């Protein structure tokens, strides 16, 4: 059951929820509330040890209890335990325990979730804005509460099938020949590849919808050439528009009055990569329409994948911040720079970036109302990526495109995916990558993943290999790195053979992953789940923070510790461990419910198949274009009988609901102990592999 509560008068409709139930007039259950200096505070006691799940993109645990998270989209690349805000604002959580409920705080502004941090026995939710909405969701299980919430916020974005292939990216590819080289080196090393990301280097002077004439002058040919090999380009688009006469987006935006305004009504100025920029007012439908149709420049080249960046929006500096900094420089220049002055200088320089004073100094025009940015801050990236998605739908109807964004808010999940931002080549970021998956899935973000190998910092063979072993399951599998660190393409490493085999395993898993992904999107389910969601009565499972369920049939327990040749795993039921060093080299190990140490050398990846479940596997190929999901192997851990609903489609049109996309695969054990197969679709060729121990 979902109930909606109105607090004050919301300043704008976030469009997080499209179909709103009528508001309830009774007081909100579970919570008491008070107006405080920081905003409206909703307070609720927490049962001892009861976990709290959700909040999407954030640091720390799957169980979010014990920290104070502040949802005000930011771009801090230090994803450490004390980071309160990341790039997304995903205000949905579920309180578990004897009483279980979900809460969604629908607000475009800053919302703080103090989950047993200030007071270990309390949840305090503080909305800085007086006007906001709260949805209270009750159900009989964690899964049911999430499903209800997901139905409320609408169907999650489904990208084209090729977007599930391996993506190679790097900030710093200098020219189109370097891109060609990445493709050919990957091919020479026998590593599957579906797309190559183009970072800001491809643009002319960091202007959106341009290509550097000298280095990327042949972008259209490049796209065509690679397209013929089944490899797509995925260029970046940034939020800021360079202030430069002749820059079409700048000229048109100024003329039409489409940029956000400063106090005086002039186009607001803030700096990003090109230096001083204006920022489209993406909250306005006509601005989204205008900006979105500029993607035509790239779609005309056959490009159908895009990433949207710096859309928190990140402001490196404003004229105000710069002037203030220069004043401080002058003030301390001729001093001895003692500790206080030195600190002041450093802090002032640091505070130029993403400063709240600046976010309070520009305005949107929403339905003719002038609205100061900081009150609707969390909607900016959402509406930037929505601009792309809406216009691409218009330009390429019934055709799926890849769009993923850095900043987001609930609502964007209907239009695009997100990546987890500028992480580091740290072992603990493998774990963070995994932990964020279920929380993001709860909030509707299914198409997500992290920069594999880590964005900042130098990666090593073993780190990249272990990361690939996790990323083999994440819908977005993109290796991306910063221009300041060592290169990270797998073919450059000594152990590239292992990396190739891990990426091939990803392709082998694709028929299962794609099937599970689309079904979860259509049904409002989570593809990645904490163990507690599947085994709520199992106290041990509820505390597990480094294993998750993936789809209907699998549990993963990635290795995220350097020099480890295995790890401890908790099995909440009997399962078969599948240990692979390539798609062909497999071992099936039956394991009983309980604690185990499972060994997995660096070249071995392990995952676990649940009892009476099966997964669909394919034959890896150079890329998804060359894969045939009509020939599959079904890996079964089935004692008596079981059925699986296998989803597949052409991968690019939007006819998702067509019943022809589902094949029911049933296996049953006959009197001789052999598995027999029944399928609803004879066009899918199925080979059954029996991994059930008792019967082999
Ligand atoms: C931001 C993005 C990163 C990108 C860089 C340069 O830091 O998060 O992915 O490589 O900008 O465009």
Residue 193: pLDDT above 80? Answer: yes
Residue whose CA is at the smallest distance from ligand 1 atom 7: 422
Residue 99: pLDDT above 50? Answer: yes
- Measure the CA–CA gap between 430 and 567, rounded to whole angstroms: 14
Q: Report the nearest atom of ligand 1 relative to the CA of 307.
A: 9
- Measure the CA–CA gap between 152 and 371, rounded to whole angstroms: 27
For the chain, the first-to-last Cα distance in angstroms comes to: 47
Averaged pLDDT score across all residues of the chain: 97
Q: What are the residues whose beta carbons fall under 8 Å from the beta carbon of 234, sequence distance 6 or more?
A: 167, 169, 195, 196, 197, 198, 303, 305, 306, 307, 402
What is the best residue among 73, 309, 453 to mutate for testing ligand 1's pocket, by most ligand atoms within 8 Å of CB? 309
At 351, phi and psi to the nearest 5?
Answer: -80, 0
What is the best residue among 88, 306, 310, 408 to mutate for testing ligand 1's pocket, by most ligand atoms within 8 Å of CB? 310
> H helices within 524-560, ranges in order?
531-534, 539-543
284-309 pLDDT per residue, tens? 999 999 999 999 999 999 999 999 99
- Measure the CA–CA gap between 629 and 510, rounded to whole angstroms: 9
Q: How, if at all, do strands 270-272 and 275-278 pair? A: antiparallel
CA of 406 to the centre of ligand 1 (A): 9
Q: Enter the tokens of residue 642.
A: 């079981």
- 313 HSE (CA, 13 A, CB side): 33
Residue 444's closest CA among 200, 104, 75, 69? 104
Residue 429: other Cβ atoms inside 10 A: 23
Q: Average of pLDDT values for 399-419?
A: 98
Q: Report the nearest atom of ligand 1 relative to the CA of 200.
A: 12
- Measure the CA–CA gap between 436 and 24, rounded to whole angstroms: 32
- Measure the CA–CA gap between 72 and 111, rounded to whole angstroms: 7
What is the pLDDT confidence band of residue 89, given thresholds at 50, 70 and 90?
A: very high
Residue 273: other Cβ atoms inside 10 A: 18
474-515 pLDDT per residue, tens? 999 999 999 999 999 999 999 999 999 999 999 999 999 999
CA of 289 to the centre of ligand 1 (A): 25
**Greatest CA span in the chain, whole angstroms?**
92
Q: What are the residues whose beta carbons fall under 8 Å from the beta carbon of 508, sequence distance 6 or more?
A: 583, 617, 618, 619, 620
At 353, phi and psi to the nearest 5?
Answer: -85, 135
Q: Average of pLDDT values for 371-385?
A: 98
- Measure the CA–CA gap between 223 and 198, rounded to whole angstroms: 11
Residue whose CA is at the smallest distance from ligand 1 atom 3: 422
Task: Report pLDDT for 682.
Answer: 87
Q: Average of pLDDT values for 90-105?
A: 96
538-558 pLDDT per residue, tens? 999 999 999 999 999 999 999
CA of 308 to the centre of ligand 1 (A): 10
Helix axes 461-471, 428-442, angle to 10 degrees: 20
What is the pLDDT confidence band of residue 694, given thresholds at 50, 70 and 90?
A: low
- Measure the CA–CA gap between 566 and 684, rounded to whole angstroms: 37
CA of 236 to the centre of ligand 1 (A): 9
CA of 79 to the centre of ligand 1 (A): 15
**What's the chain's Rg over C-alpha atoms?**
25
Q: 283 — alpha (psi -120 to 50), left (phi > 0) or beta?
A: alpha
CA of 206 to the centre of ligand 1 (A): 12
Long-range contacts: 81-88, Cβ < 8 Å, 24+?
83/59, 86/57, 86/58, 86/59, 86/421, 87/57, 87/312, 87/381, 87/406, 87/407, 87/408, 87/418, 87/421, 88/56, 88/57, 88/407, 88/408, 88/409, 88/418, 88/445
Contact assessment for residue 85 and residue 74, using Cβ atoms and an 8 Å cutoff: yes
- Measure the CA–CA gap between 74 and 136, rounded to whole angstroms: 27
Q: Average of pLDDT values for 169-183?
A: 98
Q: Report the nearest atom of ligand 1 relative to the CA of 451.
A: 9
Residue whose CA is at the smallest distance from ligand 1 atom 5: 171
CA of 497 to the centre of ligand 1 (A): 28
- Measure the CA–CA gap between 664 and 684, rounded to whole angstroms: 10
231-282 pLDDT per residue, tens? 999 999 999 999 999 999 999 999 999 999 999 999 999 999 999 999 999 9
What is the best residue among 174, 405, 425, 455 to mutate for testing ligand 1's pocket, by most ligand atoms within 8 Å of CB? 455
Q: Report the nearest atom of ligand 1 relative to the CA of 422.
A: 8
Q: Report the nearest atom of ligand 1 relative to the CA of 236.
A: 12
Q: Report the nearest atom of ligand 1 relative to the CA of 238.
A: 12
Contact assessment for residue 175 and residue 223, using Cβ atoms and an 8 Å cutoff: no
Q: Report the nearest atom of ligand 1 relative to the CA of 482.
A: 10
Residue 31: pLDDT above 60? Answer: yes
Q: What are the residues whose beta carbons fall under 8 Å from the beta carbon of 603, sequence distance 6 or more?
A: 465, 495, 498, 501, 581
Cα dihedral 429→431→434→438 (10° resolution): -110
Residue 695: pLDDT above 60? Answer: no
- Measure the CA–CA gap between 357 and 409, rounded to whole angstroms: 22
Task: Report pLDDT for 346.
Answer: 97
Residues lining ligand 1, judged by CB closer than 6 Å?
A: 171, 199-200, 236, 309, 406, 421-422, 480
Task: Report pLDDT for 410.
Answer: 98
Please give the full DSSP string across 172-195, using - where no structure is assigned.
T--SHHHHHHHHHHHHHTT----E
Task: Report pLDDT for 696.
Answer: 47
Q: Is 452 helix (H, G, I), strand (E, B) or coil?
A: strand
Q: Average of pLDDT values for 405-414?
A: 98
- 661 HSE (CA, 13 A, CB side): 19
- Measure the CA–CA gap between 477 and 458, rounded to whole angstroms: 19
What is the best residue among 205, 482, 485, 488 to mutate for testing ligand 1's pocket, by most ligand atoms within 8 Å of CB? 482
At 204, phi and psi to the nearest 5?
Answer: -90, 105
Contact assessment for residue 660 and residue 679, using Cβ atoms and an 8 Å cutoff: no
Q: Average of pLDDT values for 202-230?
A: 98
Task: Report pLDDT for 693.
Answer: 81
CA of 312 to the centre of ligand 1 (A): 13
What is the pLDDT confidence band of residue 155, given thresholds at 50, 70 and 90?
A: very high
Contact assessment for residue 687 and residue 616, using Cβ atoms and an 8 Å cutoff: no
Q: Enter the tokens of residue 246.
A: 């002749």
Q: Report the nearest atom of ligand 1 relative to the CA of 77.
A: 7
């Amino acid at each position: 059951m979902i109930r909606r509560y109105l607090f004050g008068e919301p300043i704008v409709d976030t469009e997080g929820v499209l179909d709103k139930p009528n508001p309830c007039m009774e007081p909100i259950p579970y919570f008491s509330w008070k107006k405080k200096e920081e905003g409206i505070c909703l307070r609720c006691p927490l049962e001892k040890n009861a976990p709290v799940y959700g909040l999407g993109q954030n640091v720390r645990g799957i169980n979010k209890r014990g920290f104070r998270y502040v949802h005000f989209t930011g771009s801090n690349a230090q994803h450490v335990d004390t980071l309160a805000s990341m790039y997304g604002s995903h205000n949905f959580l579920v309180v578990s325990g004897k009483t279980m409920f979900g809460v969604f705080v629908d607000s475009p502004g800053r919302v703080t979730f103090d989950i047993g941090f200030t007071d270990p026995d309390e949840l305090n939710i503080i909305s800085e804005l007086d006007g906001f909405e709260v949805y209270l969701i009750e159900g009989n299980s964690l899964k049911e509460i999430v499903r209800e919430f997901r139905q409320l916020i609408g169907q999650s974005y489904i990208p084209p099938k090729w977007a599930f292939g391996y993506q190679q990216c790097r900030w710093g590819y200098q020219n189109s020949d370097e891109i060609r080289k990445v493709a050919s080196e990957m091919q020479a090393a026998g590593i599957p590849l579906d797309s190559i990301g183009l970072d800001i280097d491809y643009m002319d002077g960091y202007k959106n919808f341009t290509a550097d004439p000298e280095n990327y002058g042949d972008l259209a040919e490049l796209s065509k050439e690679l397209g013929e090999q089944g490899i797509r380009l995925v260029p970046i688009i940034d939020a800021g528009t360079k202030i430069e006469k002749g820059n079409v987006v700048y000229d048109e935006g100024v003329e039409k009055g489409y940029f956000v305004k400063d106090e005086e009504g002039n186009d607001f100025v803030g700096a990003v990569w090109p230096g001083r920029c204006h920022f489209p007012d993406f909250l306005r439908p006509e601005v989204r329409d205008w900006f979105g149709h500029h993607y035509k420049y790239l779609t005309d080249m056959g490009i159908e994948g895009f990433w949207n960046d710096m859309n928190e929006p990140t402001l490196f500096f404003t004229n105000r911040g710069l002037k203030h900094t220069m004043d401080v420089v002058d003030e301390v220049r001729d001093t001895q720079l003692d500790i206080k002055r030195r600190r002041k200088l450093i802090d002032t320089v640091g505070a130029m970036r993403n400063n709240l004073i600046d976010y309070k100094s520009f305005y949107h025009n929403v339905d003719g109302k002038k609205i100061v940015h900081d009150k609707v801050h969390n909607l900016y990236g959402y509406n930037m990526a929505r601009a792309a998605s809406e216009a691409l739908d218009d330009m390429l109807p019934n055709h799926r495109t890849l769009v993923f964004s850095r900043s987001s808010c609930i609502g964007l999940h209907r239009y695009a995916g997100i990546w987890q931002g500028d992480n580091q080549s740290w072992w603990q970021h493998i774990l963070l990558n995994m932990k964020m998956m279920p929380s993001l899935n709860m909030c509707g973000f299914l198409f997500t993943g992290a920069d594999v190998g880590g964005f900042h910092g130098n990666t090593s063979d073993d780190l990249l290999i272990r990361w690939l072993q996790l990323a083999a399951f994440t819908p977005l599998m993109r290796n991306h790195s910063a221009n300041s660190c060592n290169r990270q393409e797998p073919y450059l490493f000594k152990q590239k053979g292992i990396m190739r085999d891990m990426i091939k395993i990803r392709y082998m898993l694709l028929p299962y992953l794609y099937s599970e992904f689309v079904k979860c999107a259509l049904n409002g389910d989570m593809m990645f789940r904490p163990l507690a969601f599947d085994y709520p009565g199992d106290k041990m499972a509820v505390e597990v923070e480094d294993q998750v369920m993936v789809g209907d049939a699998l549990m993963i327990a990635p290795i995220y510790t350097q020099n480890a040749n295995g790890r401890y795993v908790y099995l909440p039921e009997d399962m078969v461990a599948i240990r692979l060093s390539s798609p062909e080299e497999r071992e099936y190990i039956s394991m009983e419910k309980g604690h185990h140490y499972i060994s997995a050398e660096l070249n071995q990846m392990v995952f676990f198949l649940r009892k009476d479940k099966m997964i669909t596997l394919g034959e890896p190929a150079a890329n998804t274009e060359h894969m045939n999901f009509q020939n599959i192997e079904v890996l079964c851990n089935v004692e008596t009988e079981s059925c699986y609903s296998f989803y597949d489609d052409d991968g690019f049109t939007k006819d998702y609901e067509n019943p022809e996309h589902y094949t029911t695969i049933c296996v049953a054990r006959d009197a001789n102990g052999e598995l027999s197969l029944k399928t609803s679709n004879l066009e899918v060729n199925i080979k059954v592999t029996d991994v059930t121990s008792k019967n082999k």
